[in-house]
Structure 1
Amino acid sequence: MDKQTLGITVCREKALKKIPPFYEAPYFLQLAQEGKKWGIEVFVFVPMDINWRERTVSGWTVQSHATWVKATKPLPSLIYDRCYYSNQKQFNEYQPYIKRLRTDPQIHLLGTPLKGKLQTFDILKRNDNLHPYLPPTILYQSAKEVFLFLEKYRGALVKPNGGSHGRGVAAILPQSTGYQIRGRDQMNRPMSRHIKSKEELTSWLNSFINHSRYLVQPYLSLYTPDRRPFDIRILIQKNEQMQWEITGMAVRTGKPQSITSNLHGGGEAVSIQTFLETHYSRQDIASILSQLTRISQQVPQTIEAYHGNLVELGLDIGIDQHGRIWILEVNSKPGRTIFIKTGELELRERAVQLPIRYAHALLEQ
């Protein structure tokens, strides 16, 4: 067993016509360069390529000139799961392989991936201190749930239980002439349409959701004064002392009249200090930062208590037009692009260093 190798699992992306054939290669290259300082080799592989009889695996490693080369190596004892699933079919395809890695007694996964959004919210609800920050969330079973939310709130939001990057998220807003629908389809394309009746809305929901696992939440007014949607991304990671720390915070703003601020959907990034100073008073900023810090301390501990070991989390936080703070999403495989886009390269560098330092601490054990 190779004790000084950090394995990274990825999904095989057949559509990519480049070498190496997986997403996040620039991030993994930075991990490899950081790993060299600690005597750790980074080895990227697809779980399906493991030879369990010989406990070897074919994958990719980085040569000295920052080029990726194919190799076959002993199956690493320490593995960082960065598989991103583009749809439910791909998720189902990979799960038996990920489960085998997770249950192998000779393998330590850096963190157990979170399940769906609803399961994560159910865990967070067990912490009374987090209750004020959790929007009401139920599983979509029929259009009936949406109509209940439309009666109780100013609008409803439907989103996939396991989706990412804003795909398949839609806001449903009542109007005097029916319902306005705005959001992004399953291909992450902007959509907007007007529906005249309950019957037509029911038919649209059945077609849009199409037996997928979806959630219903109130539609929250998470906008700047000029009607740009925004949210705050907080990156929390374990350090070499195996303690949680807040690596950084940044703000994503979407296009005017959009309902999502995701960077994959055309959003922009700005430093949190710049954003807050533009839109809030000094007193409000102090209160917001205090609450964000408190949430960032409570969420990882709560999830680990009921879910199991984690290495990092991305929190998406919203602030509505009344100044109330909401936890929108928790992601166990957060990206780091936002810190490049804000120009905060020292935060990006820290975000790369911590997984390697945490891995090194585990290998030393």
Structure 2
Amino acid sequence: MTSLNTSKWTKYKLLRKSAKLKANLPETAWLRESSFWRMINKYRQVIIKPTGSYGGNGVIRIKKIAPHTYEVQDGGKKINFTEQTKLSAYIKKQAGKNNIVQQRIPLATVSGRPFDLRVMVQRRPNSPWQVTGKLAKIAGKGFIVTNIRMSNGKVVSAEHALKHSELNTKRAADLLSQLDKVALQAANQLMSSYGWVRTMGVDMAFDKQGNVWIIEVNFAPMLELFLKLKDKSIYHKIKSFSQNRTKK
């Protein structure tokens, strides 16, 4: 077993090695001034986030809204910049060291608010990975991050989110099946480098066309989010797989 750190950047590079998963991974780069400008010009919208943090802390969105105008959303506040040098200086000050820049996925929404999904993938010793539960996190009003504590968002079932989103609800079963398939592929891809891991919280999303994306993978996800679902049996099932695990 290879000993590796568990940063977002390291896990992304390992996932990128899978030909099956390339289409499900937003382009991601180590944050430098050159990589930022290359990606904002390519995608017009990017996310900057610390490679080692959890819970949506330090996440900044930058959107190119005109040829020389950039909108920055940092938490609940928005700032516009019309000079590249001033924007670069702001990012350098706010982001500090050890950040990644990522293609911003146009997330599917519920009542205009973006949502993503937490898919729990777990295994018992010497057994295959299985999806033990999933939920949707809907961002609070005016926020881009779906972290419930930070944005005052809400947790609902994945089925509820799909039903009330702009995605075709007739496809809901197919979309959820594809979600599970990609989550299991991600767990199997990472397992060869992190053989000690038994629980993964795979943060995923659908874009507005119903494509599946992997946002990031946590090895110590906060299980209590699942207590917010009406069906408490999902939480108890997940908990039975992950006794005595540190939570993040």
Q: TM-score, normalised by structure 2?
A: 0.89
Structure 2 regions of 5+ residues with no counterpart? none
User: Over aligned residue pairs, what C-alpha RMSD do you find?
Assistant: 2.1
* Kept after mapping to 2: 8 A contact 1:113/1:333: no
Residue type at the aligned position of 2:25:
L
- State how far apart, in whole Å, the 2-side matches of 1:356 and 1:163 are: 23
* Kept after mapping to 2: 8 A contact 1:229/1:257: no
In the alignment, is residue 157 of structure 1 matched against residue 47 of structure 2? yes
Q: CA deviation at 1:194?
A: 1.6
* Kept after mapping to 2: 8 A contact 1:114/1:331: no
Counterpart in 2 of 1:312? 199
CA 316–252 in structure 1, closer or farther in 2 if over 3 Å, else same: same
Deviations 1:3-37 (A, max 9, x none): xxxxxxxxxxxxxxxxxxxxxxxxxxxxxxxxxxx
* Kept after mapping to 1: 8 A contact 2:4/2:194: no
Residue type at the aligned position of 1:152:
K
- State how far apart, in whole Å, the 1-side matches of 2:103 and 2:95 are: 17
Counterpart in 2 of 1:249? 134
Q: Which of the residues 185, 201, 210 maps onto 1:298?
A: 185
SS where residue 347 of structure 1 aligns? helix
Structure 1 regions of 5+ residues with no counterpart? 1-111, 185-189, 359-365
Q: Give the 5 Å matches for 1:36-47.
A: none
Q: CA deviation at 1:293?
A: 1.6
Q: CA deviation at 1:282?
A: 4.1
- State how far apart, in whole Å, the 2-side matches of 1:294 and 1:270 are: 21
- State how far apart, in whole Å, the 2-side matches of 1:165 and 1:333 are: 12
Deviations 1:76-96 (A, max 9, x none): xxxxxxxxxxxxxxxxxxxxx
Residue type at the aligned position of 2:15:
L
Counterpart in 2 of 1:352? 239
Q: CA deviation at 1:154?
A: 2.3
Q: Which of the residues 86, 94, 105 maps onto 1:208?
A: 94
CA 223–294 in structure 1, closer or farther in 2 if over 3 Å, else same: closer
SS where residue 166 of structure 1 aligns? coil
SS where residue 129 of structure 1 aligns? coil
The higher-RCO structure (CA 8 Å, 6+ apart) is: 2
- State how far apart, in whole Å, the 1-side matches of 2:14 and 2:244 are: 28
* Kept after mapping to 1: 8 A contact 2:203/2:217: yes
Q: CA deviation at 1:203?
A: 0.9
Residue type at the aligned position of 2:64:
P
- State how far apart, in whole Å, the 2-side matches of 1:226 and 1:196 are: 31
Q: CA deviation at 1:240?
A: 6.3
Counterpart in 1 of 2:10? 119
SS where residue 113 of structure 2 aligns? coil
Counterpart in 1 of 2:159? 273
- State how far apart, in whole Å, the 2-side matches of 1:235 and 1:294 are: 12
Counterpart in 2 of 1:183? 74
Counterpart in 1 of 2:112? 227
Q: TM-score, normalised by structure 1?
A: 0.62
Q: CA deviation at 1:113?
A: 8.3
Structure 1 stretch displaced more, 112-121 or 143-152 = 112-121
Counterpart in 2 of 1:14? none
Q: CA deviation at 1:330?
A: 0.2
Q: CA deviation at 1:169?
A: 0.5
Q: Give the 5 Å matches for 1:1-365.
A: 115-141=6-32, 143-176=33-66, 178-184=69-75, 190-210=76-96, 212-224=97-109, 226-239=111-124, 242-265=127-150, 266-279=152-165, 280-356=167-243
- Number of aligned residue pairs: 240
SS where residue 314 of structure 1 aligns? strand
Structure 1 stretch displaced more, 280-289 or 197-206 = 280-289
- State how far apart, in whole Å, the 1-side matches of 2:14 and 2:112 are: 32
Determine which structure has more spread, i.e. the larger CA radius of gyration. 1
- State how far apart, in whole Å, the 2-side matches of 1:327 and 1:311 are: 19
- State how far apart, in whole Å, the 2-side matches of 1:228 and 1:113 are: 36
CA 113–337 in structure 1, closer or farther in 2 if over 3 Å, else same: farther
Q: CA deviation at 1:321?
A: 1.4
- State how far apart, in whole Å, the 2-side matches of 1:356 and 1:339 are: 15
Q: CA deviation at 1:270?
A: 0.2
